[in-house]
């Protein structure tokens, strides 16, 4: 299989599930807050439906079911997630060593809002590596799986899509990267892939390569 350019000019990292081990925490918060508003969704269902997607996708999901997410839901969810991250969030094992050894430019492009990404990087000690090179779904019209966010990040980093490598853990993120004309490596080292065949899931979504250990980034 073609893994893409051996030496990309830019690496774009997703945040949740790639830099920080947050996906199970996020899905647990979503399930609990929905329950507070009378909507039943298990952690497993949250993973299947919303992994790698923005809160707009949550609202659209319930609109499609002719259900309205109640007023106050999104602020409550944001508060719960930020509180949980502040006390429980950890970096992906080996990620700091991996990114500190990179010799090519890199940035973050996340479906989460800027406050959440900033907190995630601050809590896990990764913020200094990224500075202001943080791009979120708030900055574009269409979130993942549309290519808009990755194209926005690459444009701001002054790199053509064909020379860009995306690191993603979700189907929607892989699809977004491929739609942007970029090489995409799927990452399955987060705890949310325990007991799930992440390699098959992300390969089927179009990932050019799938890996489970951040030390493998040294192959770039």
Q: Which ranges of the chain does DSSP label H, i.e. alpha helix?
A: 23-36, 43-50, 55-64, 73-88, 95-100, 114-123, 127-130, 148-156, 171-179, 198-205
Q: Note whether 118 and 145 are within 8 A (CB).
A: no
For every residue of 108-159, which 3-state class applies, written as one string? EEECCCHHHHHHHHHHCCCHHHHCCCEEEHHHCCCCCCCCHHHHHHHHHCCC
Catalytic residues: 14
Radius of gyration for the chain, computed over Cα atoms and rounded to the nearest angstrom:
16
Phi/psi of residue 93, each to 5°?
A: -55, 130
Beta bridge partners of 184: 166
C-alpha 14/C-alpha 10 separation (Å) is: 13
């Amino acid at each position: 299989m073609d893994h893409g350019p051996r030496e990309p000019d830019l690496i774009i990292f997703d945040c949740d599930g790639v830099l920080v081990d947050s996906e199970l925490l996020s899905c647990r918060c979503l399930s609990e807050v929905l329950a507070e508003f009378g909507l039943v969704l298990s952690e497993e269902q949250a993973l299947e439906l919303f992994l790698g997607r923005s809160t707009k996708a949550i609202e659209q999901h319930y609109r499609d079911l002719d259900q309205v997410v109640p007023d106050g839901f999104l602020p409550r969810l944001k508060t719960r997630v930020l509180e949980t991250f502040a006390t429980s969030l950890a970096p992906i094992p080996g990620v700091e060593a991996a990114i500190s050894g990179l010799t090519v430019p890199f940035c973050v492009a996340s479906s989460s809002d800027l406050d959440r990404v900033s907190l995630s990087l601050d809590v896990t000690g990764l913020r200094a590596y990224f500075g202001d090179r943080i791009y979120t779904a708030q900055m574009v019209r269409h979130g993942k799986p549309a290519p808009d966010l990755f194209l926005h990040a690459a444009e701001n980093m002054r790199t053509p899509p064909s020379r860009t490598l995306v690191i993603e853990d979700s189907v929607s993120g892989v699809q977004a990267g491929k739609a942007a004309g970029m090489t995409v490596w799927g990452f399955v080292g987060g705890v949310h892939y325990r007991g799930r065949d992440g390699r098959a899931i992300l390969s089927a979504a179009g990932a050019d390569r799938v890996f489970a250990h951040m030390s493998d980034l040294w192959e770039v």
